[in-house]
Amino acid sequence: MSDLKQPVRRKSLSKSKAAVPAKAVGKALRQRGPKPVDRATMIEIFRRLKEANPEPKGELDYTNPYTLLVAVTLSAQATDVGVNKATKELFRVADTPQKMLELGEDGLRQHIKTLNFFNTKAKNVIAMARRLVEEFGGKVPNSVEILETLPGVGRKTASVVVNIAFGDPRIAVDTHIFRVANRLPLVVTKTPLETQAALEALIPKEYLLHAHHWLILHGRYTCKARRPECWRCPVNDLCRYPDKTIP
């Protein structure tokens, strides 16, 4: 008879262990993490990044706003080096939306078949070209909101294009920028969109235009995901990341 009472005890014990909700634990852990740097420190971070690279440039090859739009669209799930190889010949024959339409989807696929998801990308680029020709006179609009309505174009792509092609101070948050921004941290955020809004509101205006490039290049070559090269980081002493690496 005594065995019949054991499940009751186990149930009671299990309930006791679950007394602290998982959300509360997660919140406590986040609270113990480093808080975002203050404004003076943020200014110094960007001053140093600018000093190290006064005129940062993106690594995708392009000749005009349209080829930039195409290159950034093709870069999803692909490397900049791979995209540049694919577009080297493509942009010689199709550097405008009208020429891209004349090349056609089959012709475009032959140029970009080395890229991931090239069939979907070819379909989107041709549909994008058609809309640009029919609705915008073959011009790339300087508007994130309009660009986001084009096939294959999301917020990140649209932000990159207006930033580079038109000098619009936008922060296009990719995996590198999200990591660097939350590792320093400049901000503590959960999503790329939240990160973009926070960075655009906080980064001083004199650094905002090139901030996208400074952060992405820093994340790509220094503040790497698996093993950041903290020993050669120009903002090492300002960074609050607790797990710094040594050579």
Of the candidates 230, 232, 234, the residue with the CA atom closest to the CA atom of residue 242: 230
CB 121 within 8 A of CB 73: yes
Is 123 an annotated catalytic residue? Answer: no
Beta strands (DSSP E) in 50-138 are none
Asked about 174 being catalytic, the answer comes back as yes
- DSSP per position, 11-67: HHHHHHHTTS-HHHHHHHHHHHSPPPPPHHHHHHHHHHHHHH-SS---SS--SSHHH
Catalytic pick from 156, 168, 205, 243? 156
- How far apart (Å, rounded) are the C-alpha atoms in residues 246 and 232? 9
Q: Is the peptide bond before 247 cis (omega within 30 degrees of 0)?
A: no
10 Å Cβ neighbour count for 229? 13
Q: Comparing C-alpha atoms, which of 78, 148, 149 is closest to residue 160? A: 148
In angstroms, the Cα distances linking 24 to 18, 27, 35, 90, 117 are 11, 5, 18, 53, 41
Instruction: Considering the candidates 50, 80, 174, 224, report the single residue annotated as catalytic.
Output: 174
Mind telling me the catalytic residues?
156, 174
